[in-house]
Structures are given as C-alpha cells and as structure tokens.
Structure 1
Amino acid sequence: MPGAYRAGRRGRLPGGTAGCREGRAQFVGVDGPARVRADLGASTLYRHFPRKEDLVEAMLDELIADVRRNAERADRIEDAREAFRYVFTHSCGMTPQEIALFAQLAAFSPGAGRHAQRLIISVVSPVAARLREADGLRPDITDDDLAMFVRMVEVADTPDRREKALDVIVTALTTAPSAQRSPSTG
C-alpha cells in the first residue's frame, strides 16, 4: 500500500502551508512551517516541492486563498466603485502575521516576488477593469501599480494605520486627476 500512504501524505501538503499562517509553526527557514504542520520529513516535502521556490510559491498561494475568496464576493456588488473599494480593502485583510509572512516569502527571491505580484494582480485586476470601464479609476493607474499599493498598505504597523492608508489610497485611485489639487495650486 505504498501508493495509499503517499496519497495520504500528499493530501496533507496544503495543510502544511496553511499551518504556517495559523501561527502553529515558527518561520525558521522555508520548509519549517510546512513540514511541522503536515508532519512530513524534509525528504518527503522535497519530493513534492523539488525547489524551495516551489514551496514558497505554494505557501504564497495558500496565504492569498482567503483574500481571493473575498474578492470573488465583489462580483455581486453592482456599483463598480464600491466593488473596487471592497476588493482593495479586503485584499489587504490578512492578519498581521499573514502579512508579515507574505512579505517575507515574497522577499525570498526575485521569482517569489514576481509570483506574489502576480497573485495580488489576479485579485485586484477584475474589479479594476470594471472600474476603468465605468471611468472611475484614474487612467494612469496600471494593475502593477495597484499591486504595489496593496503591498504598500501591507507594511502599515497597526490595523488603524492600515485602514487610514487604504482609505487615502482608494480615494486617490478613484478620483479623477483633474479633481485633485495640483502641487502648484497649493
């Protein structure tokens, strides 16, 4: 029954990545949280994730899964601006520990950073497209810009500051540049 044994262990791998965000394992190296949660040895883990980068990407995918589910709820919001605000504010809705881990994993390598960027873009781009169609998003803002703004908010050190940053950024993004004060007008 070696196949059944492997199948049972393989089923625990996603839980292994989830364990890192639930605070059940200290982040000491890339594979620590996944091995502790999934009760796997390093050799078993690396059969499923031959490169550390593969494991980092799987952990990033797991961390953003709840954010992605929140973003899908915006499809039911009729007003494009409100849908955008909902997704943007909920895309930054990870716990402080999850935010720190996401940032740490994204900094693991240039490839991990690009993967994290693609994940964030995949969350915000559908509502950004809706808002662009409604002429509610500044025309000079790209999906890459939006992902950068999300990551900027992630580094706020308290929930109150994160909420303020979100409000300021979302307001600036959804205000036409002509309606904003120019530096020359004071």
Structure 2
Amino acid sequence: MRADARKNYDHLLAVARDLFAEQGADASLRDIARRAEVGLGTLYRHFPNREALLEALLRSSFADLAARAETLQAADDPGEALRAWLQEMITFTHRHRGILTPMMSAIEDPSSALHASCVTLRTAGAALLARAQAAGVARPDLDGDMLFDLIAALAWLREQPSHAQRAERLFSLITGAVLAV
C-alpha cells in the first residue's frame, strides 16, 4: 500500500473508532468520511461496506479475546476461566455499542467480512465450555452456539438503560446456571 493510501486507511480507522464509540456501529459512513476529511469514494476504496470497516476495526480485539481464551485454557479452575472470559466478552460488546447485531448476523453468514472473526470467538468460548464440562463444573447440555447467544443476550441487556442496573445480577444468575451441575 502506498504511503498516502496507508495514511488515509489508518486515519479512517481512527476516525471510525471515535465515531462508533460516540454513536455506535450504525454511525454514518458519510460522517466518517467527512470527519476524516476524505471523500466518500476514498472510504469505499478502503472499506467497500460497513462490515469491512467493522472487521478492520475489530480484528485485533477479536484476536486478543481469542488469545485470552487460549490463555485461560491453562487456568487451574476451568469454571472460573469460563466465567472470566464470558465477563470479558460481555464487557467488550458493551464497550463497542451496536456491534451485537452485526456479530450475530455475521456468525451465520460465511460471506460476511466479520464471519471468520466471530467463528473464532465462538470456537474459543466453546473450547472453554468443553473444558469446564469435562471437569464436571458446567452443564453438559450447552454448546458453543448457545454460549454465544447467552453472551449476546447479556450484552444486549447491559446496553438497555432500563435493564443495565440488573445486568450484573443477571450475569451471576446465568453463569450460576451454566456452571451449576
């Protein structure tokens, strides 16, 4: 990539990160280009659609969460490792307002730019769940898909102002149900 193109790419990502933090993942791509002081065509040359932009923004964070799950595989307490990773995933999705819908769509759509990263996260969570199940500390009737759904549901609740105050209690109830055998 040419130096000027790389500069535009990096600048667009920085602006998009800020705008998504302010307005959520549905922020206007036109506003991102305007704030980055580039034409809309420049934005679309680098990121042909919203999913491609989200994928570029979230790729390293998703990789970090997957690596964290791998690290937690070596933890002494598989139940606590699963609980810690679930908390980190929910905190991450809450901090990145509006990414739940694209993530949930992408996990089912192999043509999505986010698909591979979302599958990696689901697989990482499923491995932690399987380890906790093998240790006899997690329900045997759950799978990685259900775990991913629970993460999405709990993160969605945290985003709702009327439910946010109950989010921690609900997290404790759900993880207690997942880890109770």
TM-score w.r.t. length of structure 1: 0.70
Deviation digits for residues 46-90 of structure 1 (CA, Å, limit 9, x no counterpart): 112224432343345467567557656635632111111111122
Pick from 87, 98, 102: which aligns with 1:89? Answer: 87
Residue 23 of structure 1 aligns to a residue whose secondary structure is: helix
Unmatched tracts of structure 2, length 5 or more: none
Q: Which amino acid aligns with 1:139?
A: P
1:78-157 alignment, distance < 5 Å: 78-94=76-92, 96=94, 98=96, 100-106=97-103, 111=109, 115=115, 118=119, 120-156=121-157, 157=160
TM-score w.r.t. length of structure 2: 0.71
1:62-73 alignment, distance < 5 Å: 64=62, 67=65, 71=69
Larger relative contact order, structure 1 or 2 (CA cutoff 8 Å, min sep 6): 2
Confirm or deny: 8 A CA contact 1:84 1:127 kept in the other structure: yes
> After TM superposition, what 4+ stretches of structure 1 lie above 6 angstroms from structure 2?
107-110
Q: Which amino acid aligns with 1:173?
A: V
Deviation of the 1:146 alpha carbon: 0.1
Pick from 157, 161, 166: which aligns with 2:171? Answer: 166
**RMSD, aligned CA:** 3.6
**Structure (1 or 2) with the larger CA radius of gyration:** 1
CA distance in 1: counterparts of 2:24 and 2:174, whole angstroms: 34
Confirm or deny: 8 A CA contact 1:88 1:150 kept in the other structure: yes
CA distance in 1: counterparts of 2:65 and 2:20, whole angstroms: 13
Q: Which amino acid aligns with 1:15?
A: A
Deviation of the 1:139 alpha carbon: 1.4
Report percent identity of matched pairs. 23
Deviation digits for residues 11-63 of structure 1 (CA, Å, limit 9, x no counterpart): 3344244223432789443x246535654432112112224432343345467
Confirm or deny: 8 A CA contact 1:125 1:143 kept in the other structure: yes
Unmatched tracts of structure 1, length 5 or more: 177-186
Q: How many residues align?
A: 173
Aligned to 1:7: 6
Deviation of the 1:150 alpha carbon: 0.5
